[in-house]
Chains A and B, each alone.
Chain A
Amino acid sequence: MELLMASAIGVLTAAGVYLVLRLRTFPVIIGTSLLSYAVNVFLFASGRLVVNQPPILRDGVESYTDPLPQALVLTAIVISFGMTAVAVMVALAAYLSSNDDHVDDQPAGLGPSIRGDSDRGDG
């Protein structure tokens, strides 16, 4: 199970990094979302993997999983929603005001509209 968890985090990280290195805003946002999954799960897993021992106190139960990483990750999940929303909004505002969703600064001389329209042309 530990191996599955580790490899899943690895796969999410790799996919996230690859997408973050893309040239358009939308894949980059998807990439950061994947990275937040990876990071949240990573933090959670640092409390070690435990099955059937939720941190809900019960009479007669002695061992519980580590609740602290869970509490940290819980807020992290909600905050990452806020972060994603802001990133999406910034990307959207940039696209709407310049008709260009490139991540990198574009060299001068290329009109934004030509590139903007070509978005729909090829795939």
Chain B
Amino acid sequence: MSLFLIVALPFLGALLPGLLIQAGRQTCASATFMVTLAALIGLATHIPAVVDGQTITARAIWLPALGLNVNLFLDGLGLFFACLILGIGLLIIAYARAYLSERDNMGEFYSYLLLFQGAMVGIVLSDNILMLLVFWELTSLSSFLLIGYWKHLPEGRQGARMALTVTGMGGLAMIGGMLLLGQIAGSYDLTTILQNREAIQASPLYLPALILILLGCFTKSAQFPFHFWLPHAMAAPTPVSAYLHSATMVKAGIFLMARMWPVLAGTDAWFLIVTTAGLVTMVVAAIIALFKDDLKALLAFSTVSHLGLITMLLGIGTPYAAMAAVFHILNHATFKAALFMSAGIIDHEAGTRDIKRLGGLRKLMPVTFVIATLASLSMAGIPFFNGFLSKEMMLEEASHTVLFDSAWLVPVLATIGALFSAAYSFRYLGHTFLGAERDDYPSHPHDPGIGMWWPPAFLVALVMLIGVAPFLAEPTVRLVTQAVLGGAAEMPDAHLKIWHGFTPALYMSIIAVLGGLVLLALFRPLDKGWQTAGPPYAKAMFDGVIGGAVSVARFVTGRLHDGALTRYALIFTVTVVAVAYHAWATGAKSPPTHDLIPLGPMQLAGWLMLVIATGFLVYCHRNRLLALVLMGVIGLMVSIGFAYLSAPDLALTQLSVEVVTIILMLLALNFLPKQTPVESSWSRRIRDGVIALGAGTGAAALIYSILVRDFATTPISEYHLENSYAGGGGTNVVNVILVDFRGFDTFGEIIVLGIAALIIYAITEALLIGPTRARLAARKPDEPLAGDAHPLLMVVVTRVTMPVMLMVGIYIFLRGHNEPGGGFIAGLVVAIALVVQYMASGFAWADERQRYPYHTIIGAGVLVAGVTGIGSWFAGYPFLTSAFGYFRIPPFEEFELATAMGFDLGVFLAVVGAVMLSLESFSRLARRARKDRSEHAMDIDPSREERAEAGRGG
């Protein structure tokens, strides 16, 4: 099976559980199981080749310019980890089927689990470190989902957040480290990097890269001082803890250290950092683990401790230590997953996992007792169990490791670690299963069905098998060790066996086991002392740091983003003007070349009207109605300017938009105060005036300097002018650009317009329910209503002119392709024709006669435009390519039909719909609020109380 497929299978399979959960829980679990099994079998097909010493690769070019390619490779190390991930994954899937209760959403669980599995397999098979980073982050994300799977538990959410924060930050550091590494090696391909040991270690960037990568590894593998997230992640369901936090995810950091071992290991920096971190983690976590009462917390800290052990071995840097590390990865995965599952069984059946409430379960749960006993004895390091073998190798290596010029530091600390490890293993066993049977268990403990105990039993069988016959595991361990060493060091001439003779390691081991028993005997007084001494609690520190970061962020945001929108506008304007001025002052300017248009009295008159209207508008903007009138004047002058300066389409558009804008603003003003009060001080007004003048001068200077110069290059529109008739079949180039050359752009714009209208509609609807409705209903008009709301003359005139106006609209639409006009303008004209009816005869009258809802018209417009565009696909052209032809139907003259007209029809409909829906919404606000029907059982008008308050206050 291709490596691509092996990595892709879990990701693709992640879709299945969510879908198949409808078909039942058994189907869902079976599908998940089959997906994993398929990937495992696919992997197994490569085993003979890898054992032969080959490296399987699969390569696909993705983004070669960035050095990011989908390169996968499979060697001994990758195979070992992939087998662990998929193999233990199978057991976990089976176990979770029995573990999850009816209330848990099993499909969601298995989907997350498969996502995680795929990400892990991706990490161990990646040949490209950028790909590896992607998978690395995916494990962080998917484990976040898994830890927080029980969303209703605050511990779950907090634990998930903490895990994501810590591993995510480590991931960020690692991205930096990996990029540095890729820079040094000149390639992001792992196989290339692994062959550049000398160049990388000689580089000045080696140390930063090493530290950053180790940060990623240490956070992921919960090494001191980042160990604290792992115990909190235990809020996850036990299958997750067993899978992520014993066998796989936490091993990702270990995997990467092993993977990078040939290039990064062997230097002083590596030895000091990695060995120290591992040693400290091993001892500290082992001590804490002993005093944890929660079974899963005990196992979590023991996991941290064992990860420390493996890290230390990798740090030591000798081939023998690497071999011991590989062996311990295997052993730890087997016994720890089994232990977690047994803890889950106890929790499931006894209703608690608090050691202080347990004890004496030996007779009640015999099967679980056997499984837990065998696994915990292995963890304690008792001979004939696999944990003993790798621990012996560790102690052997520790006994001649010199750290900080001290020959006894590592051996003593390693023995202490092993001693506590034995002690908590004995405690797990003794305080849970041994002792007197109790009668106050939260529920009635008994052995679970076989579905729940066969996965740990299988693992325990492995534990025993390797423990009794270590030579069976030796080929695997040697193969993987070979891959870890990667030719950077000679393969050690050592064999896995139980009896090594009377070595220092044996004595250390004996001390550890006996000391462990003594510690357990003295547990009660020790526990009392531990609880009173109260070592620092990492979660409080973490929460403190997070809280501090949040308050700093809040402070900064509060200062920058204080809700004063005018201040933002001020800062924005000043910045733009300043930056533009800088460019202006420092840039080079070419001499003016363009011929100016001579000035005449008419232009001057138009200019004067515009400037006076604007000045007057600013002067008396407080009178809002007057301001609107003056705005109309300005708009009119702008349209006349367009008409004069060879832009008839723009003039028509501006004119009709002006009408609907003013009507809209008038409708809104109906509800708003008619006056703007004087609030800003003189100094503020002068300041704003200066800024405004600066902005105005800048805009004027900029456009003037553009106007007096010719185009720097030939404008794009040369092409449009040349091809408008030949290619687009129209002589109005502006319209051809809109519906043809830039049709896609226009298509987007009518959609935006439609969305704007829908927003207005939605806000209106929101206002018409809830307290605003009552306020609107109780509102008294500022101006007395006119006696003849619908004057006869106006009604008659609008009735008569309506067909004429519609005719004009249709005419403008039809001629648009060749003469000024088109869908936009026609839409606006027709909208005005309709609005006039509303104005003359009132909303209700017009609304009754309006048969098609405006939403539908907008939708139809977008649809017509889109379908026209899609039509060109059938002719084999890209979206919105137009076709046209000339037809003659006697007795008419020859006329043209273009598909662009269909598109323009869409534009027309969308514009009519959008304008009408906006205006209609505003008038509905006035109309609907006055309805007598009460929508709520208790309709309270909030403004009544406010008026009373205002009366007292004023």
> Chain A interface (Cβ within 8 Å of chain B)?
1-27, 29-30, 33-34, 37-38, 40-42, 44-58, 64-68, 70-71, 73-75, 77-86, 88-93, 95-97, 99, 101, 103-105, 111-114, 116-123
Inter-chain contact B704/A51, CB cutoff 8 Å: no
| A5 nearest in chain B by CB position | B707
Residues of B687-734 whose CB lies within 8 A of A? 688-689, 691-693, 695-701, 703-704, 706-708, 710-711, 715-717, 720-721, 724-725, 731-734
Q: How far is the CA of A101 from the CA of B566 in the complex (A)?
A: 13
Interchain CB contact under 8 A, A21 and B566 = yes
With a CB–CB cut-off of 8 A, which chain A residues contact B760?
A: 85-86, 89
A1-B597, A114-B949 known; A15 vs B703 contact (CB < 8 Å): no
| B631 CB-CB contact with A under 8 Å | yes
Report the bound CA distance from A2 to B820 in whole Å.
25
Check A22–B676 contact: CB distance below 8 A. Answer: yes
B569 touches A (CB below 8 Å): yes
Known contacts A10-B700, A42-B699, A75-B738; can you find 19 more A-B pairs with CB under 8 A? A8-B610, A20-B569, A26-B627, A29-B665, A34-B631, A37-B638, A44-B642, A48-B711, A55-B733, A70-B647, A71-B742, A74-B734, A77-B650, A78-B753, A92-B672, A92-B922, A101-B673, A113-B949, A118-B677
- What's the nearest-Cβ distance from chain B to residue A25, in Å? 8
Q: Please determine whether B638 and A104 come into contact, CB atoms closer than 8 angstroms.
A: no
Q: Which of chain A's residues have a CB closer than 8 A to the CB of B679?
A: 23-24
CB neighbours of B824 from chain A (8 A): 74-75, 78
Interface residue tally on B, bucketed by range:
35 or more
Flag if A113 contacts B947 (CB, 8 Å).
yes
- Nearest B residue to A12 by beta-carbon distance? B614
B680, B700, B737, B911 pick with most chain A CB within 10 angstroms: B700
With A13-B695, A114-B953: A66-B610 Cβ-Cβ less than 8 Å: no
A2 touches B597 (CB 8 A): yes
Q: For residue A79, which residues in chain B have a CB less than 8 angstroms away from its CB?
A: 749, 752-753
Binding site for A on B (CB under 8 A): 562-567, 569-570, 573, 594, 596-599, 603-604, 607, 610-611, 614-615, 617-618, 621-624, 627-628, 631, 634-635, 638, 641-642, 644-650, 653-654, 657, 660-661, 664-665, 668-669, 671-680, 688-689, 691-693, 695-701, 703-704, 706-708, 710-711, 715-717, 720-721, 724-725, 731-734, 737-738, 742, 745-746, 749, 752-753, 756-757, 759-760, 763-764, 766-767, 771-772, 775-776, 782, 818-820, 824, 828, 911, 914-915, 918, 921-922, 925, 943, 946-947, 949-950, 953-954
Known: A1-B603, A42-B703, A74-B650. A21 touches B569 (CB 8 A): yes
A40 to B593, CA, bound (A): 24
- In the complex, residue of chain A having the shortest beta-carbon distance to the beta carbon of B699: A13
* Interchain CA distance A91-B760 in the complex, whole Å: 11
Whether A37 lies near B635 (C-beta < 8 A) is yes
| B678-A85 in contact (CB<8A) | no
User: A21 is contacted by which of B675, B688, B749 (Cβ under 8 Å)?
Assistant: B688
A44 & B911 in contact (Cβ 8 Å cutoff): no
Contact A111 B731 (CB under 8 A): no
Please, how many angstroms separate the alpha-carbon atoms of A73 and B653 in the complex? 10
A82 and B717 in contact, given A37-B634, A105-B564 (Cβ under 8 angstroms): no
Q: Is the CB of A97 within 8 A of B624?
A: no
A24-B950 contact given A44-B650, A82-B757, CB 8 Å threshold: no
CA distance A40 to B699 in the complex (A): 12
How near does chain A come to B694, taking the closest CB pair, in angstroms? 8
Tell me whether chain B's interface is mostly helix, strand or loop, or mixed.
Answer: helix
Q: Give 23 A-B contacts (CB < 8 Å), ordered by A residue.
A: A2-B708, A5-B707, A8-B641, A9-B699, A11-B700, A14-B697, A16-B692, A29-B665, A33-B631, A47-B715, A51-B646, A53-B646, A56-B731, A57-B732, A66-B715, A78-B753, A78-B824, A84-B661, A84-B664, A88-B664, A89-B763, A89-B764, A121-B677
Is B657 within 8 A of A21, CB to CB? no
Q: Which residues of B have CB within 8 Å of A122?
A: 675, 677-678
Name A31's closest neighbour in chain B (CB-CB): B621
| Contact assessment for A15 and B617 in the assembled complex, using a CB-CB cutoff below 8 Å | yes
Return the chain A residue nearest B569 by Cβ. A20
* Given known A70-B650, A78-B753, contact A105–B707 (CB-CB < 8 A): no
B952: nearest chain-A partner, CB-CB: A114
Chain B residues near A68 (CB-CB < 8 A) = 715-717, 720, 737
The reply to whether B680 and A55 contact each other, CB–CB distance below 8 Å, is no
Evaluate contact between B599 and A15: CB separation under 8 angstroms.
Answer: no
Which of A48, A71, A90, A101 sits near B672, CB closer than 8 Å?
A101
- Whether B733 contacts A57 by the Cβ 8 Å rule is yes
